[in-house]
Structure formats: C-alpha cells, structure tokens
Structure 1
Amino acid sequence: MTHFITNSTTRRSFLRAGSSVIAIPFLETFASAAASNKTPPKRVIFLGGGFGFTADTFYPKQAGRFSEIGLTEGLAPLQRHQDDITMVANMTNIGATDPHGGSVSYLTGANVEGTPGKRFHNSISCDQLIARHLGSDTRFASLTLSANEADGGQNSGHGKGLSLAWDDSGNPIPGINRPIDLYFTLFASRDDAPDKVHARLKEKQSILDIVKINAGSMKRTLGKDDQDKLDEYFTGVRQVETGLERQAKWADIPKPNAPFEAPDEGLTGEEAIKLMYDMMIIALQTDAVRVVSYRLPVCSLLSSIGIKLQAHSLSHYGFSQPRIDASRQRDQKCMGLLAHFIDRLKEAKDIDGSRLYDNCIVSYGTNIRSGHELKNVPAILTGGGAKDIRHGRNIVLPKEDTPLANYWLTLIQQAGVPVEQFSHSTGVISELCG
C-alpha cells in the first residue's frame, strides 16, 4: 500500500488539482439542473468532538466582534478566519444526561433514557433530516464519518453510538471510520464496474426478500408488543431498500477517479483527520453528497500529538498543571485542524467558480463544555451558506440553557428545509440572524 504524502504543499496542490481534474468530469457526467444553471447547492457539515475544552483559556469572556474583543488562547489558531466564525454561548442540550456519552444525543436532542417503557430511545438527527431535502439527487444521501477508537469511543466523550447520525427510527447509523474506507467509497475502483455493482445489488436484494418473507410470516404469530418491535424492524428494512434503490440508480454512473493514491490503512490521529477533511471537500465539490457528519477521533488525536493521557483522564484536567497544559495543547490542535478545514473550503472552487466555502454551513461543537459539564456547550459556526448569518462574533444569548435544538432548527431553516420545530426546540435563535 502506498503511503499518502501529507506535507502541506502536496496537500494544497492536490486540492487545487481537484478543482479542475474532478469538477469538470462531474459536470460532463451529471446533466443536473445545478450544473446547467451554474447555481451551487447548499452543503451542511456537522463536526462533533468528544469531551469539551479548557474553561479558562478557550471560551471568550464577553460578547462582541472578535476583531474587537480578540480570540482566546484556545481559539488563536482561527485568527486568520476570525471574521468568518461565530460562537454562541448559553446553549444546553436539554436531552443530554450522560457526561460521558454526549455525542449520542448531540444532533438529536433526545433524552435517550427518559422514554417510559424503553431502556434506550433516540430520535432522528438533524443531519439526516436535512439530508432528506438536500440529498435526493446525489450519489450519497449523506456521508456519516467516524473513527476507530480503541475503546469504541466511550473513553472519549462520544458514548456508545456509531457516529453522530441517527435514522428516522432513532437507530444508530454506522460511520466510515478510516480514511482508506472513505477513499474507496468516493473514488472509482475495479469493484465499481457496472456489472459487478449490479451483481452485488442483486445478491443483496435476494437476501432482503428472504428476510422480508420470513419476518412477514412471523408477524401473524406475535403479540402486540412484539409486533411493534417488528414494525420498527420493517422500518429499517425499508430504509435498506431505499439505499439499494439509490445504489441501483447510480450503478451505471462512474465514480470520479482518485486524484491521489490510496492512503495507508493504519493512518490515525491528526493526519487521519486532515485527510478525512480533504476528502470531504472533494465529495462536496463533486456533488457526490451535500450533508456530512463527522464524529472526530479523540484518543488517537491525543496520541498523535504526544499526549499520553487518555481522553477521559484529560477531561479531569484540574488535578495537575501538566494535565492543564495538555488540555490547552489539545484545544489549540483541534482549532488548528478546524482552521485547516476552513482553509481548504476557501481554496476549493464550486461549479460556478465561487468558493466552496460560500455555499457551506459548518457547525463544530460538542455536548460537553469543560470537564463533565453539560450546560453552555461550545458551538462554533462558519461558512457562507447561511445567508442570514453575519460572522465574526461571539454571541451570548440572554437566556441561560437556551435549547441547543433551537440552534439546530436555525441551521436547518438556513439550509432551506421548511420545518418549524426540531426535537425540543422552542424557536430559532434570532440573535444569529441579522
């Protein structure tokens, strides 16, 4: 396996090459309305960390424009983008109850252990709600990305979910965990030849038909509670069917060729995040997808930057100065990686020649503020796709514990999705708009 070169010059060159090498074949291959009238679609990206950030050195102490109040030590790597980011304070995810598993309900707002008669019950995540509206004409309705962590993510503040995304029935959606897997998802390979794709689809459909027949005959012998469970199961089956139909629709339309060789299978930590960010941009730029969620790795990031503490231990950073220093180092690295992502979005060209950045809504945050605090969670917003939002500010909402769902509802509407409520929302955040 060829190792991917990760120096900044090479990475920048390949992305610039991607603007011409990939986008042009996309326009020739897909005779879509967007291509013909040169109107770029909206894209929405959700980035979720695990545990929160260092209380004293990450969060701004006052509201105002960053050009006037300055950036904190933790936010300093975003200096070159300070006029293009917004922070919102005083939001709480009302549904979150587990300080070790914030990502489980981060994009849903559900109280997963608070539904009578059910040990666990989640709801649809806002990325999947948006994907219903933005993802109907793309190869992938959404991209759900995650990361392999040694403990499955429970030590990193993410909890037991497989990603940030949950389907209509509140079932976890598995994430693509490794850069190499995302690479072969996005780019053409010998296994993507139409005859091979059709053969795989036929086999999957045959298996699905058998499952449906067996389950259908079983339903007649079950009690009501078990029938309800089986109905939930059939909902999942229908979603699989929808996925197969989408794959069949795109089976004869070739994927773009990769602009670089496959990355190393064992790539983790900081370099894995950079490469996932870069491939996300290519996926958006080629209109293979318009909605992406990424549950960021935590433990492997710490290891890759020389921090030997486990993520959970680091979240208790108040025990010693070395832990405080490590926490501050982690904060700056996370924001440095976010700055890298914004750099790439601004460099990449969209189908009309504008910056890809100008058509994206990017949210970065976690369900935990600092340590194990579930209130006043961090929320960073960037991208020019939310046309009503003016960036460059730290906004302190007048009401403490404003539902985080209000923030998601605001972004959902800014993405053009006509809904009036999401999860436990009580309205949009008017301070963000105008």
Structure 2
Amino acid sequence: MQKPLNRRTLLRGASTAIALPFLEAMLPTSRIARAGSPAKAPLRTAFLAVPNGVHMPSWKPTKVGRRFELPATLEPLASVKDKLCVLSGLTLDGARAHGDGPGDHARSAAAFLTGAHPKKTKGADIYNGVSIDQAIAQNIGSKTRFASLELGLDGSAQAGGCDSGYSCAYVSNLAWRSPTSPMACEVNPANVFDRLFAASETQAGTSFAAKSRRKSVL
C-alpha cells in the first residue's frame, strides 16, 4: 500500500527533502520491507548554469594539484574538497559562430550541455544535440522516481526568434532529449514541490484544498 507522507515525516526529513526527489519516506511500506536493509542512495548528477558568469579571481584556484586552496566562492565546498576537481581553460567550440554570424547567447545556451553547434533558425526546424544530462538520465534515471528534473528561474518563450535569427528554443532550454526535443524547465516552486511530494491524487487534492484556504503546505 502507499505510505502517506504526513507533516511530521516531512518536517523530520526537511533538511534533505528538497535536495533529494526520491525519499525512503515516500516508498510504499511493502517495498521498504522487501529491501531488508537501507538502500544505497542512487547516483545523482547536477548541472548548474550561471549565464552571467562568475568573478574568476574568486572562483579559480591559484594552485594546481591536490593541495590547491579554495577561493572565496568555493569555500562552502570545503567539506568535500578532497572530491572536488576544478577545471579551467576549456573551450566550447559548438558555441562559436562558425560562419553563422551573431547569436552568441543562443549558441552558448544551446551548446552548454550538448557541445553541439545548433542550426541557425527561428522556425520550427530546430536542431541541436542530446545534452549530457539526458544521456546520463537514459542510463541511470530508471533508479529514481524521476529520470531528470529541469528547474529554472526564467520561463522564456519556446518559439519564435530570440537572438539574431536563432529560435527561442535555443535560448530557453539547456536540456535536450534529442536534437529536436528540448526539455522546458519548471520555474514555479509550488509546481516542483507538488511534483516531488504529492504521493497520490488524494494527497494532491488535500494540498490544493490547503492552498485554497491560504494555509501552509507544511
């Protein structure tokens, strides 16, 4: 049977709930019983885009090798420094013009996770490449409740021209399931919460009723 996710359970796991879409607390009781012992956490990968860039002196370590010192921006990662690898000097060739003229913003976004050079068009005949996040999801995504999550802050247009003859699809999407199938990101936190934690239609209905009464979902 489906194990309900009550308020106490959610609060007890609040420190990890948002970071992990798949929680043991959300598993049906029967599946936990069959497991016999705590399951190993599934392997996860995250890609974060910083479109306006970073302050390089505060980001890039001044020394190479294992004994590098963390710059100010990376100091919060001190506890996992021994597992951290900071790469620099890389070139994203797919984002270069290659004779296509202006449109650096669209090309950079399109090539960020695909490494591909997108076809210059503002019509429906878009063509890019498969993004690395989706390639990974196709291999390990079956081990989690959701194969992948696409989250963002900007709900931009998906069609029409957005940058010097390039489709808005290139500017608005970083994840691509196939060269012609971009995956739009969710920008509404409430929708993300409901998708992750609404364990059943009944609970989803209860959540909606609570929102209607302007009460906290917690």
Q: Which has the higher contact order (CA 8 A, sep 6+)?
A: 1
Which residue of 121, 131, 135 corresponds with 2:137? 131
- CA distance change for structure 1 residues 26 and 74 in 2, over 3 Å: closer, same or farther? same
Matches within 5 A, 1:214-363: 261-262=216-217
Paired AA for residue 54 in structure 1: H
Distance 2:17 2:131 in 1: 34
Q: C-alpha displacement at 1:25, in angstroms?
A: 4.5
More helix by share: 1
1:173 offset after TM fit, Å?
A: 0.8
Deviation at residue 186 of structure 1 after TM alignment: 1.4
Tell me the residue number matched to 2:3: none
Counterpart pick for 1:112 among 118, 122, 139: 118
Matched, 1:44 2:45: yes
User: Partner amino acid for 1:104?
Assistant: A
Show the counterpart of 2:213. Answer: none
Q: 1:80 to 1:125 in 2, by over 3 A?
A: same
Quote the sequence identity (%): 27
State the 1:32 CA deviation.
Answer: 10
User: 1:100, 1:159 within 8 Å by CA — same for their partners in 2?
Assistant: no
**1:56 CA displacement:** 3.2
CA contact (8 A) 2:42 2:144 kept: no
Any stretches of 5+ residues in structure 1 without a counterpart? 1-10, 197-260, 264-434
1:93: which partner in 2?
92
SS in 2 for 1:175: coil
CA distance in 2, matches of 1:69, 1:138: 35
- Over 3 Å counting, the alpha-carbon distance change for 1:262 and 1:121 in structure 2 is same
1:236 corresponding residue in structure 2: none
Secondary structure at 1:128's aligned position in 2? helix
Shift of 1:108: 0.6
CA contact (8 A) 1:96 1:105 kept: yes
* Contact 2:151–2:186 under 8 Å retained in 1: yes
Cα distance in 2 for partners of 1:148, 1:167 equals 20
Number of the residue aligned with 1:174: 184
Cα 1:107–1:60 shift into 2, 3 Å? same
Query: Residue 184 in 1 paired to residue 194 in 2?
Result: yes
The Cα RMSD (Å) is 4.1
CA, structure 1 residues 131+79, in 2 after alignment: closer, same or farther (shift >3 Å)?
closer
Change (3 A) 1:30 1:174: farther
TM-score, with structure 1 as normaliser:
0.34
Structure 1 residues 142 and 84: alpha-carbon distance in aligned structure 2, compared to 1, 3 A threshold: same
Which stretch has the larger CA shift, 158-167 or 138-147?
158-167
Is 1:78 the counterpart of 2:77? The answer is yes
Shift of 1:182: 0.2
Distance in 1 (CA, whole Å) between partners of 2:71 and 2:139 is 37
> In the comparison of the two structures, how many residue pairs are matched?
178
| SS state at 1:127 partner | helix
User: Unaligned 5+ residue runs, structure 2?
Assistant: 1-10, 97-102, 206-215
